[in-house]
Amino acid sequence: MIWAGAAPGGQGLAPIVSGADRPLIASLPTPLGRVFWLNVDLGRSNLARSPDWPILLHNLVGLRRRALPGLDKRTFRLGDDIQCQRPDPEAAVTVSGPGGFRKTLAPSADIYLSRLTEPGIYQLEAGGQAIDRFALNLLDDKESDLAGLSTGRADAGRAAARTQLVRGQRPGWLGFVLGGLALAALLGNWRLNYRRADDA
């Protein structure tokens, strides 16, 4: 893969990926969190032809989203660790939730919550104002865990015999009656349309 940088870079950039003396991916701290800088000259690179090009962009967008204040998603499972950036690192954040849950977090750059056990809607507040909300639902990884299950085998002959038994219990004359009613409806419809054509 050939990846050539278009710009030499600038002051304050912290290189994440570099080639020779040029940063190809770099981060820059700003008041609104870290900004990520992608340096690529598409005329001299074949990076865009790589099948992993969309994954690179997705990862960069994800890094930027996690650097922004607030949550990067709104729904979590029981047992998930919840982490986000505070809008104001100096302000204390209060988390309130179902069942009278209330917890005040000391000032720091990140909000980190773990071991929330009550499903429902939680709210983050700073300075008496709501800054974010998230839901904790009942979905559990154990629901998808097949390790404790065993394999089995179903006899197709028994299922076919059961189907035959159910079919045999239905009265055979019902099919004839329904078929006759459908035929009578078709004939009646044809007769009405035939008469209308004659009258016209």
Spatial separation of the C-alpha atoms in residues 116 and 99, rounded to whole Å: 12
The secondary structure element, H or E, covering residue 185 is: helix 173-199
**Residue 34 in contact with residue 28, Cβ under 8 Å?**
yes
Beta bridge partners of 82: 113
Domains in the chain, CATH or no CATH each: 14-67 (no CATH), 75-140 (2.60.40.10)
pTM: 0.49
Task: State CA 166 to chain mean position distance.
Answer: 43
**pLDDT tens sequence for the chain (200 residues):** 777 777 777 777 888 888 878 888 888 887 777 788 888 888 888 888 888 888 888 888 888 887 777 787 888 888 788 887 777 777 788 888 998 888 888 777 678 788 788 888 999 888 778 888 888 887 666 666 677 777 777 666 565 555 554 545 555 677 788 888 999 998 888 888 877 666 65
Spatial separation of the C-alpha atoms in residues 40 and 107, rounded to whole Å: 39
**Residue 31 in contact with residue 88, Cβ under 8 Å?**
no
Instruction: Give the largest CA-CA distance in the chain.
Output: 93
The secondary structure element, H or E, covering residue 60 is: helix 53-67
